[in-house]
Amino acid sequence: MGEEQVDSADEALARAVDAVYAVEPTDFVATRKEWVTRLRSEGLREVAKEVAALRKPSVAAAAVNKLVRADDPVVERLRDVGARMRHAQSTLDAKALAALREDRDAVLTAWVAAAREHAGGSLTAAVESEVRDTAVAALADADATEVVTSGTLTRALSYSGFGEVDIADAVATTSTGVVLTRIEGGGADATEEDEEDEDLEEDEGVEEPGDDADDEPEDDGDDDLSELEMELDEAEKVVAAARAARRTAIQEEEKAAAQLQDARARLAEVEELLAAARAAVEEAEEDHERTSTALEDAEEELRRSRRHRDDARAALEEAEDR
């Protein structure tokens, strides 16, 4: 971390937050603990407590923080498209919203690609999905945009399609609820240097005999927090897997629904053909019945004709015998 002294409580907190959220999730707890120890040694015990309470980001949140901290151009694109979409939504401009569809899809694709690039291409499909969901939430909600682009995101966001985005516990904040963001640029002015001198003078003699004893429970608290964060990581993995399984199930259900619709359409066609065939059979049966009746009538007529012929022949023969 270097030997430089922190200039003030606010700057100390800002620098600690910036450093803690700049590392990989696997190094988060260790880096946070280093800063807590450093701040205590500087006499900034309240700041140390704020840092100790910082939440470890999920894998997806860390990926978003990386691309934000890299000042990737897609961040400003996301802000721009989101602002235009929200304006069109607020004015009920359906035509403008439709025209922004292509920009929306393009920035979401670029956002995921940027996250993948800054993460070294090591993101799973489930994590990439959460990264995309987070961008969708940022497009829909201005507060979500600020949280997502803070560089201190702690969990992925999602948007249901209506209402506000839930950003509770989604970003690093102070105990009073102030959102902590990354440091843009650096350096301190003369006033800050004066404040540093005053802080250092005030810090002299801050350490008291009981301070070492006070540190022990707080370290235990860090360990407890680390265990809880490990449990949270596992829970988030389970949630991510469940979300992926849900998406797969939805896709399978949609596929099955499409197949069912096709099958019903084919069944309707077959039923139409069957109905036509049945009608043809009934008509043929009626024709057969009519022709059968006609045949019977013809045969009866033939029999009568033969009897008449036979009678005529017999009469003729009898006449000839006379």
What was the pLDDT predicted at 187? 34
Residue 52 lies in a domain: yes
Structure-block tokens of residue 311: 């009678």
* pLDDT, tens only, 2-57: 444 445 888 888 888 989 999 988 899 999 999 999 999 989 999 999 899 899 99
3-class DSSP assignment, residue 120: coil
Residue 200 lies in a domain: no
* pLDDT, tens only, 133-179: 999 999 999 999 999 999 989 999 999 887 789 988 888 876 655 56
Residue 148 lies in a domain: yes
Residue 201 lies in a domain: no
Count of domains in the chain?
1
Residue type, 47: V
E strand segments, the chain? none
Residue 51 lies in a domain: yes
Residue 119 lies in a domain: yes
Residues near 210 by beta carbon (within 8 Å), at least 6 away in sequence: none
pLDDT reading at 242 higher than 50:
yes
Nearest alpha carbon to residue 306 among 318, 295, 314, 296: 314
Q: Would you say 95 and 158 are in contact if contact means Cβ atoms under 8 Å apart?
A: no
What single DSSP character describes residue 121?
S
Residues near 304 by beta carbon (within 8 Å), at least 6 away in sequence: none
What was the pLDDT predicted at 261? 79
Question: CA-CA distance, 162 to 141, in Å (whole number)?
Answer: 10
- Structural domain containing residue 213: 9-184+207-250
What single DSSP character describes residue 151?
S
Residue with more model confidence, 82 or 215: 82
What single DSSP character describes residue 34?
H
pLDDT category at 252 given cuts 50, 70, 90 is confident
Nearest alpha carbon to residue 202 among 42, 13, 3: 42
Residue 34 lies in a domain: yes
What was the pLDDT predicted at 287? 83
3-class DSSP assignment, residue 171: strand
Question: CA-CA distance, 245 to 242, in Å (whole number)?
Answer: 5
Within 10 angstroms of residue 219's Cβ, the number of other Cβ atoms is 13
Residue 317 lies in a domain: no
Question: pLDDT averaged over the chain?
Answer: 80
Nearest alpha carbon to residue 177 among 35, 50, 8, 31: 50
- The DSSP element (H or E) to which 275 belongs, if any, is helix 211-321
pLDDT category at 236 given cuts 50, 70, 90 is low
